[in-house]
Structure 1
Amino acid sequence: MAQIVVTRPLVHGALEGLAPPHTVETGPPPTGSELSEEALIERIGTASAVVTTVADPVTERVLSSCPNLEMVAQYAVGLDNIDLAAASREGITVTHTPGVLTEATADFTWALLLAVARRVVDADAFVRSGKFDRWETRTLLGMELHGKTLGIIGMGRIGSAVARRALGFGMDVVFHNRTPANPTIIRETNSRQVALDTLLRTSDVVSLHCPHNDDSHHLLREDTLATMKPSALLINTARGPVVHESDLVDALRAGRIAGAGLDVFENEPDVHPGLLEHERVVLAPHLASATVEARTRMGQMCVESLLAYFSGEDVPYTVRSQL
């Protein structure tokens, strides 16, 4: 029987089937958006396993300060918050929830895109403020997507799901990858692979779906943003640091791009004040995976990993690149 700590409440039923025989302790919501290292160490205590989120700092200090910790089950796909090298040194198994967020994130990408292109947030505020007194020819004009070019940076699971949805809108799809994409995906999405500068120069919408690493850090910055069309929109449901936020604000203020839809931020949860004040920016608090279905399945995958580990079976969803 293992002692398992869950760092914060999850959606109802997400961890169904985990206890008994194991004891599961779920912590209260943290004060503020994140736990500190000290709070996380205290919360894990003598537990054998912990279910973490992307807001939990699973650092070398945390891992080395929890003597009984054998497993970290990350309730997320991304692993930026976990020191994988330290986990490997400590002999701690790390799992995550790959593939589960694909459709939810692709849906939300389109929600942001449509909200920015058709000024949905502005329209809602316009009506609620009592300004709507008659139909007008020039009120809140937006961008029509049919016939436009969608540029996808990162044609993985989520990028290709976004591209499939673009077919229904009659958009042309181009993409940029560091490696050649699956030919089947190219056929299914009627897309073509291009160089990054070509994508930025020709796309009416640029949507980010690449991981955050040394190569993609500040991929969209002053010089690359300057390559985009003045009428183009930028959508980011990937990782905040892929975009240099101050440079994005400068580009928006100068009219070098037309708008942005952002679900993630460079210094999350802090948001650049220039984004908060810009009328052609739609902001969301990291909601791409926020469906009951996706969040429940994430919990189920954590349960599968934990039960397998403590039963001595092969552990699914293990992060293999810890060494």
Structure 2
Amino acid sequence: MGSIPKVAIVYVVDPYHEDAIAKLQSQRNLTVILPGDPRIKSYHTDATHILVRSETTIGEADILKARNLKAIIKQGVGVDNIDLQAARRHGVIVCNTPGINSESVAELTLALALSIARRVCEIDRRVRNGEKVIRSKTLGHSLFRKTIGVIGMGNIGRVVAKKWVGAMEGKVIAYDPYAPDSAWDDMKDVQRTAQLGELLQQADLVSLHVPLTEQTQGLIRKEEFAMMKSNAILINCARGGIVDEEALLDALREGRILGAGLDAMDVEPPSLEKYGNTLLDHPGVIMTPHIGASTIENQSRSGIAAVDILCKLLRGEEVESRLT
């Protein structure tokens, strides 16, 4: 590999793992501005490259102000916090780090599903409140050999499906109208459907793994909840906005589904002010503040991957995850 040919001014506008920072600072010909430095707020002045996560939104106004900006590298898969069309119009490269978060997001998906099915968080709260929990009157649901419906046949959905078969010996039904016909051909335990309704009617667990787009906005609404089993669990470890939250609340209150695990909501991070009298008031709901990728191991891997992409760009090499 060649060396970085000239000086670049790199702003790390969101927190990155120390391993990624160490690798970045080891590169020659880079000026690196880290989180906590007061200059971060004025990155528009001279940034040539930006390393970002989900905390910072970069819109067209930011891109127009940052006249020296050449590239934005996003740690993680989702790029809905970056105006891709504006970046494309103004010649700014945008890259992400797909595939690296898959294991950690899949782990959280199963953790939420099992916690809801076995009423772990609900029972824990009752014990902490001093209630005597009678076991015979506090039965959960087994997920062993049950059916998972995976919506979105990308990297994360694939790992979720594999873990489900391995851990639960369960059936997998998958829906993704945009995935190629050959997607998941090597996974013999997967039934693919072209109809979302078919998946919803069969699944004991419905797990969302799609980006937020015009096509997926409000994908799960009142009509979709009406198709689901009364003991079904919905998991959203993807993006807020995919689920109609008012319809979800109605479905929960009316007993049309068993519960929901939400790592992605309309309002993030979730708060008592927003959800205290609605979704958080239901015992079958678990909310986490978009922590699917938040393991020590994954933050190190994905941060280093973002730095590697930056270095490739600076050396003039091709990057597979380039989006603009």
8 Å Cα contact 1:16/1:300 also seen in 2: no
Q: In structure 1, give the amino acid aligned to 2:36.
A: P
**Hey, what's the Cα distance between the residues in 2 that align with 1:15 and 1:84?**
26
Q: 2:157 aligned with 1:150, yes or no?
A: no
Q: 2:226 aligned with 1:218, yes or no?
A: no
TM norm structure 1:
0.89
Question: Counterpart of 1:23?
Answer: 31
Deviation at 1:288?
0.6
The change in CA–CA distance for 1:41 and 1:103 in structure 2 (over 3 A counts) is same
Question: Counterpart of 1:238?
Answer: 238
Q: 2:299 aligned with 1:301, yes or no?
A: no
**Partner of 1:17: helix, strand, or coil?**
helix
Instruction: List aligned pairs for 1:163-312, cutoff 5 A.
Output: 163-167=161-165, 168-179=167-178, 185-194=184-193, 195-270=195-270, 272-273=274-275, 274-312=278-316
The change in CA–CA distance for 1:186 and 1:143 in structure 2 (over 3 A counts) is farther
Deviation at 1:147?
2.7
TM norm structure 2:
0.89
Question: Counterpart of 2:124?
Answer: 124
Q: Which stretches in structure 1 are left out of the alignment for 5+ residues?
A: 31-38
Q: In structure 2, give the amino acid aligned to 1:201.
A: Q
8 Å Cα contact 2:221/2:243 also seen in 1: yes
8 Å Cα contact 2:239/2:265 also seen in 1: yes
**Partner of 2:126: helix, strand, or coil?**
helix
8 Å Cα contact 1:308/1:316 also seen in 2: no
The change in CA–CA distance for 1:177 and 1:15 in structure 2 (over 3 A counts) is same
8 Å Cα contact 2:34/2:40 also seen in 1: no
Q: 2:159 aligned with 1:161, yes or no?
A: yes
**Hey, what's the Cα distance between the residues in 2 that align with 1:50 and 1:181?**
33
**Hey, what's the Cα distance between the residues in 1 that align with 2:264 and 2:113?**
14
**Partner of 2:235: helix, strand, or coil?**
strand
8 Å Cα contact 2:234/2:260 also seen in 1: yes
Q: Deviations over 1:3-48 (max 9, x none)?
A: 1111132222223222242121112399xxxxxxxx9762443111
Q: Which stretches in structure 2 are left out of the alignment for 5+ residues?
A: 1-6
8 Å Cα contact 1:5/1:44 also seen in 2: no
Deviation at 1:183?
5.0
Question: Counterpart of 1:136?
Answer: 135
For the aligned residues, what is the CA RMSD? 2.2
8 Å Cα contact 1:93/1:318 also seen in 2: yes
**Hey, what's the Cα distance between the residues in 2 that align with 1:183 and 1:144?**
32
The change in CA–CA distance for 1:183 and 1:311 in structure 2 (over 3 A counts) is closer
Question: Counterpart of 1:12?
Answer: 18
**Hey, what's the Cα distance between the residues in 1 that align with 2:182 and 2:46?**
49
Deviation at 1:279?
0.8
Q: Deviations over 1:40-93 (max 9, x none)?
A: 762443111111112211100000001111111112211111111211222111
Aligned length: 310
Deviation at 1:187?
4.8
Deviation at 1:153?
0.9
The change in CA–CA distance for 1:160 and 1:8 in structure 2 (over 3 A counts) is closer
